[in-house]
């Protein structure tokens, strides 16, 4: 079994850009490469799970998603980090063209991408995490039985602050930790897991 870090992509690893698909628009966020490198070195499998409804909407093709993921790994490798696998959901339940307009099981907050990853490399859930910048990310991770963290990049900080301002003081969303950057989240994970910090 593999202790696994599941990561959202947009707003978590790279700057949020609406319907991102061109490599020239792909910018790694501060702390992302270092956080991923720490997980790599601590023996975690690192997996991306990303909703890409831009494919369903016809804004770009699946091929563009795959090329972008190759480019992402090139950038990460320049900083000694890498992602082991990428899963994406190209569907949308209501919008979109042809076979992409379906109610699928893979679109987060559903867990089809996690199940697929688990079939290909069984996940040690007690030592695995889902991290993203939206509640649908932490919700999907919690549904699959993982520890979860919201990261403050992308939409994360705004969502977290809104949850903190609720008059009842109760955050209705699943979340074990909030970290400003992916590096902060990596340090939290390694602290919990007793990993060595380098």
* Shortest CB 132 distance to Mg ion, Å: 5
Q: Do 68 and 23 contact (CB within 8 A), yes or no?
A: yes
Neighbours of 47 (CB within 10 A): 25
Record the tokens describing residue 69, joined without a space.
């993921």
* Shortest CB 154 distance to Mg ion, Å: 5
Residue 118 interacts with Mg ion (CB under 5 A): yes or no? no
Return the residues of window 81-100 that contact Zn ion according to CB under 5 A. 89, 91
- Known catalytic residue at 10: yes
Return the residues of window 115-144 that contact Zn ion according to CB under 5 A. none
Q: Check residue 23 and report its DSSP letter.
A: G
Figure out which of the listed residues 84, 110, 133, 139 binds Mg ion, where binding follows CB under 5 A.
133
- d(Cα 113, Cα 48) in Å, to the nearest integer? 9
Of 10 and 84, which has the nearer Cβ to Mg ion?
Answer: 10
Of 4 and 153, which has the nearer Cβ to Mg ion?
Answer: 153
Return the residues of window 140-169 that contact Zn ion according to CB under 5 A. none
Closest CA relative to residue 92, chosen from 58, 67, 57? 57
């Amino acid at each position: 079994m593999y202790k696994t870090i599941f990561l959202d992509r947009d707003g978590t690893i790279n700057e949020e850009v609406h319907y991102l698909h061109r490599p020239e628009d792909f910018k790694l966020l501060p702390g992302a490469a270092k956080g991923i490198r720490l997980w790599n070195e601590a023996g975690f499998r690192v997996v991306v799970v990303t909703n890409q409804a831009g494919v369903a909407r016809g804004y770009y093709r699946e091929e563009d998603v795959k090329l972008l993921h190759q480019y992402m790994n090139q950038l990460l490798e320049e900083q000694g980090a890498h992602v082991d696998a990428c899963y994406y959901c190209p569907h949308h339940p209501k919008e979109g063209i042809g076979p992409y307009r379906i109610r699928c099981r893979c679109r987060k907050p559903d867990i089809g991408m996690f199940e697929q990853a688990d079939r290909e490399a069984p996940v040690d859930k007690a030592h695995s995490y889902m991290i993203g910048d939206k509640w649908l990310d932490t919700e999907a991770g919690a549904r699959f039985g993982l520890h979860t963290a919201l990261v403050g990049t992308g939409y994360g900080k705004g969502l977290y602050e809104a949850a903190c301002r609720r008059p009842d003081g109760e955050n209705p969303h699943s979340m074990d930790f909030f970290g400003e950057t992916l590096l902060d989240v990596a340090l939290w994970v390694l602290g919990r897991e007793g990993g060595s910090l380098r």
